[in-house]
Structure 1
Amino acid sequence: MAVTDSNVLKLSPDASAPAYRSAPHNIEAEQGLLGAILVNNDAFYRVSDFLEPKHFFEPIHQTIFETAASLIRMGKIATPVTLKTFLPADVDIGGMTVGQYLARLAAEATTIINAQDYGRTIYDLSLRRDLINIGEDMVNVAYDAPVDFTPRTQIEDAERRLYELAESGRYDGGFQKFSRALTIAIDMAAKAFQRDGKLSGISTGLRDLDTKMGGLQHSDLIILAGRPGMGKTSLATNIAYNVARAYVPDLQADGTMKALNGGVVGFFSCEMSGEQLATRIVAERSGIPSSHIRRGNITEADFDKLRECSIELQSLPFYVDETGGISISQVMARARRLKRQKGLDLLVIDYIQLLSGSGKRGNDNRVQEVTEITTSLKALAKELNVPIIALSQLSRQVENRDDKRPQLSDLRESGSIEQDADVVIFVYREEYYLAGKQPRPGTEEHQKWQLEMERAVGKAEVIIAKQRHGPTGTVPVQFEASVTRFGDLAPEDMVPDHGDGY
């Protein structure tokens, strides 16, 4: 230990030791903060929500901070006198006892006003040391990797560790003054006034659905569910395309781009390949059935349409990840990376039941795994401040009812999905069920069936079963099955609303 000209105590390595780069640290900041806490315990509360003992570089400082924190949280006073009782008396700190060192810290203390700044300095330097450790581990593992540890696995492991560090590396949480939240709310209203359609959220491209929801709201987890054949993937694809097509970037004062309308879309296609997803969108835009495109059953005029659509689609801010069997931790890491590199305004996941948990608790059953997935998705929506549309299956109990319109209880592993979702939307097509119940031609039942089919053909219902900040109810829409396209119904074609009970 050495004493500088300013009489500030300083721990330093032996001068005779060979020169090397030491890990980033600031002993004076640690001493100044600890001294401030010992003189005025209120200084502890200025750093307690982000600073932990592990963030200190010197082991003795870790012990002092941890002991002081324990005393203060128990309602006791932490001073050099009370603290030394709980610290090892036989420790030599540069020729001083623990009691003498504590007294010196208090004597050289910084003011409580500077405590938070000192705490942030200590915290940031700790993050730098963690980054160095991650970097060293990456180098060492890359040199001596086991045969079964592929480079891709190492990259994902490094990403996970970096994002975990990024998650913990924040000291901007905690309570905020209500006026700040109020300002954000008024800004949102102002942007809605300026935006096309006067929506507070991002437009889905479907007029009636936007009217009911106010668009896709930032930080919302939106569950889109339906039985097979209802068109939930088609609806998600349509919305994703509409958002990407409407994208109008706005340059911010800090040089970043922000969406004035529409947005950058990330699409996790766990079920379909990127090629299949592209075929669906091309079919929807061109009006040429995807089955014709796949079989090559198209005319020269059709091919010209496809070429025009592909040129338009190439410029869209639409990013697809077609990895199958992906885990929720990988989804979160890749979404963060996309947000950082390209921007992100809407994330779509097709679908929840094809994701796996992090694997931290290997004995968990599927319900617990889905709980982890939905909780993580909601946290990701808040963190990235973007709406997330996550598709979900429905249980077979829908098929056992006369009225096959879905209900919240039909969600598979419904407890966590229903609880974590801000919005739950069901897709229902009466036409699908009627087509499978065709009576024998020529009978009275067949005539009645034909009338029902004429009423239902080309139509679907988007049922808003839950919405935290808006009404529930049913939105009738148009659906062209051959090109998997949803659209607005003309006013004269509107079907009766089923009420707000869904």
Structure 2
Amino acid sequence: MRVVDYRLDGRDDHLLAWLRRELPSAVSVRLRTGFFTTAGLSSVEPDLEELVERGARLEVLIGGSPLQYEVPALRALLALSEDYPGRIEVFVVMAPDFQNAKTYLLGHADGHSSAWVGSANLTMGGLGSNFENAVTFDSREDGDDLIGRLHEAHLTVVGSPTVRRLDERLLRQMQFGAQAARFGLGRTEVQVPEVLEELLQSTVDKLDKVASHGPIGAGVTTGFEDLDATLGCLIPGSLTVIASRPGAGRTTLALDMLGAAALKQKVPAAIFTFKMLKDEVVHRILSAEARIRLADMRAGRMTDNDWIRMAKKMTEIAEDPLFIEAGPAPDLDALSSALIKCVGEHRLGLVVVDPLNAIVARSFADNREREVAEIARRLKALAMELEIPIVACADLGRQAEQRVDRRPLIGDLRDADTIAQATDVLLLLHRPDYYERDDPRAGEADLIVAKNRYGPTSTVTVAHQLHYSRFATLANP
């Protein structure tokens, strides 16, 4: 064992010099770093490429916080792993865990092992220009036990639930996370356009899937067949806004879509709500699924049969991939970061945000119109970058109450212009009995597709059972 201090031992006794001494005889390498930069990779890339060319194995573990990595470095390392399949594996520690350990573990052709443990990241500064501290080990002098324990620690981290293997999809998520953390909305890297010929086959494959399985083959079901037929389901990359007057049921409708995805289609889905506690969300889900009156649940009036149905339903849905986050109105950047992490950890296929109007964009807090525009654009950008549908809830103003039929229009949407421009689908929820309980259409609700970027606009009529916190098709109430 030897203690290294760059300041005391000189600039030539640093991590880069140690790696170049040790790598030529290595047959397996495990690198664990908190920070990872393009300059750092460039310094050792020729050595790593020579390593894998002769058949050695390389495993890299990197910190996944947006400020810990540079996207071009990740892209170059991913490309290198694709050039040498089976020889290079790259893993990323995602939030809530934070990777900041630095260990460099090498196994050599003659059977001995060596290790560097210290404060140096795989960056230009860490490799040679900063004053760093480290301890080096050599099994020929220090035995195998200590280095073996370092390998065990490395493997334990790699096997933890918050660690993911780097692939193209994860790279896109990390790219968006980095740009959101550093620069806000706009992309910092634009790819060269793909030629049409390369896109045709994947497009045909998607069309074939829709032809074979119906609209659900293109995306996530809304839970309503007629609405799926109009929208072509909730399509990855799309932003759908559900708008209504307060108390008309927009949150219930959004929860229906969430449940249809996670509980029926088994697609991982999450809700970020800023007006309910988590218990309230669970109450609504259980009410809808077990057909127990929500008011009875809240007031403690559940019957024995209610308890039996609820227990059975809880058993059925306990392991379904539904995730809930609730709390006060968030900052837009904080929400973006949490959403990106959640998609990365759980591979979400749908996200619900309720309500859109509660989110705060601090950069535009003095101008409500610009603030809402920034929120809507960010949600749309997140949907596209993460390749998932996002459903958001919004408020309708009182203008419809002045009309004879009281049916809402796009113009009734608060901040209508800014929200409507960013959304792909705009659903206006209209309940005739919201205004008059004895209306001839009591119990019905119109889902008015006021904007549909993927097809025609129309109106889908459903039944509302708000006492059960649910909507249902008229044919199957």
Please say if 1:240 is aligned against 2:261.
Answer: no
Which residue is 1:323 aligned to? 327
Q: Which residue of 2 aligns with 1:20?
A: 14
Which residue does the alignment assign to 2:387?
Answer: 385
Change (3 A) 1:418 1:128: farther
Tell me: CA distance 1:397–1:163, structure 2 relative to 1, closer, same or farther (3 Å). Answer: closer
Alignment of 1:432-471 (within 5 A): 432-435=434-437, 453=439, 455-471=440-456
Q: Which residue of 2 aligns with 1:421?
A: 423
Q: How does 1:314-393 map to 2 (within 5 A)?
A: 314-357=318-361, 359-361=362-364, 364-393=366-395
* Residues 1:483 and 2:468 are matched in the alignment: yes
SS in 1 for 2:464: strand
Partner of 2:307: 303
The offset of 1:399, in angstroms, is: 1.9
Letter in 2 for 1:488: T
Q: Does the 8 Å contact 1:192/1:201 carry over to 2?
A: no
Cα separation, 1, equivalents of 2:371 and 2:124: 30
User: Which SS does the other structure have where 2:455 is aligned?
Assistant: coil
Change (3 A) 1:485 1:128: same
- SS of residue matched to 1:316: coil
1:310-354 Cα deviation digits (max 9, x unpaired): 122211111011021112212211111112111110010001111
The residue aligned with 2:209 is: 191
Residue 128 and residue 344 in structure 1: after superposition, are their counterparts in 2 closer, same or farther (change >3 A)? farther
CA shift for structure 1 position 480 = 1.0
Q: Mark the CA change 1:198 to 1:323 in structure 2 (over 3 Å): closer, same or farther.
A: closer
TM-score by length of 1: 0.60
CA distance in 1, matches of 2:443, 2:464: 5
Q: 1:19 corresponds to which letter in structure 2? A: D
Report how far residue 196 of structure 1 moved.
6.1
Distance 2:411 2:228 in 1: 25
Instruction: Name the CA distance, whole Å, in 2 between partners of 1:312 and 1:55.
Output: 41
What letter is aligned with 2:276?
M
Question: Is the Cα–Cα contact under 8 Å of residues 329 and 359 in structure 2 kept in the other structure?
Answer: yes
Shift of 1:179: 2.3
CA shift, 1:477, in A, is 0.5
Go from structure 1 to structure 2 and tell me whether the alpha carbon gap of 1:309 and 1:27 turns closer, same or farther (over 3 Å shift). Answer: closer
Matches within 5 A, 1:140-219: 164=181, 173-195=191-213, 199-219=217-237
Give the C-alpha shift of residue 217 in structure 1: 0.9
In the alignment, the residues of structure 2 paired with residue 372 and residue 28 of structure 1 have an alpha-carbon distance, to the nearest angstrom, of 41
SS of match in other structure, 1:219: coil
TM-superposed deviation, 1:397? 1.8
How far is 1:205 from its partner? 1.4
Per-residue deviation, residues 340-392 of structure 1 (Å, max 9, x unmatched): 111110010001111111x2355x31111111100100100000101100110
Aligned residue for 2:40, secondary structure, equals coil
Task: State the 1:308 CA deviation.
Answer: 1.0
Q: CA deviation at 1:244?
A: 0.6
Displacement after TM superposition at 1:398 (Å): 2.1
Report the number of matched residues. Answer: 331
Assess, with a 3 A threshold, how the Cα gap between structure 1 residues 16 and 337 changes in structure 2: closer, same or farther: closer
Within 2, Cα distance between the matches of 1:296 and 1:199?
Answer: 42
- In the alignment, the residues of structure 2 paired with residue 183 and residue 55 of structure 1 have an alpha-carbon distance, to the nearest angstrom, of 28
Question: In the alignment, which residue of structure 2 is the partner of 1:408?
Answer: 410
Structure 1, unmatched stretches of 5+, are 1-14, 31-53, 57-116, 118-126, 137-158, 248-261, 436-449, 494-502
> What is the deviation of 1:488?
0.8
Matches within 5 A, 1:26-37: 26=42
* TM-score of the superposed pair, with normalisation by structure 2: 0.63
- Is the contact between residue 160 and residue 329 of structure 1 (CA under 8 Å) also seen in structure 2? no
Q: Tell me which structure has the larger Cα radius of gyration.
A: 1
* Segment of structure 1 superposing worse, 481-490 or 342-351: 481-490
Aligned equivalents of 2:239, 2:424: Cα separation in 1? 5
Separation in structure 1 between the aligned mates of residue 410 and residue 421 of structure 2, nearest angstrom:
10
C-alpha distance in 2, partners of 1:286/1:306? 6
Post-superposition offset of 1:245 = 1.6
Pair 180,331 (structure 1): closer, same or farther in 2 beyond 3 Å: farther
Residue in structure 1 matched with residue 458 of structure 2 by the alignment: 473
Structure-2 change in CA distance of 1:129 and 1:361 (3 Å)? farther
Quote the Cα distance in structure 2 between the aligned partners of 1:385 and 1:161.
17
Report the AA paired with residue 463 of structure 2: Q
Tell me the residue number matched to 1:265. 269
CA distance in 1, matches of 2:353, 2:126: 34
* 1:285 correspondence with 2:285: no
Letter in 2 for 1:268: F
Alignment RMSD: 3.5
Query: 8 Å contact 2:427–2:450 — kept in the other structure?
Result: yes
Question: Take 2:240 and 2:463, find their aligned partners in 1: how far apart are those partners?
Answer: 21
Gaps of 5+ in 2: 1-8, 17-38, 47-69, 73-82, 84-120, 131-175
**Aligned equivalents of 2:252 and 2:377: distance in 1?**
25
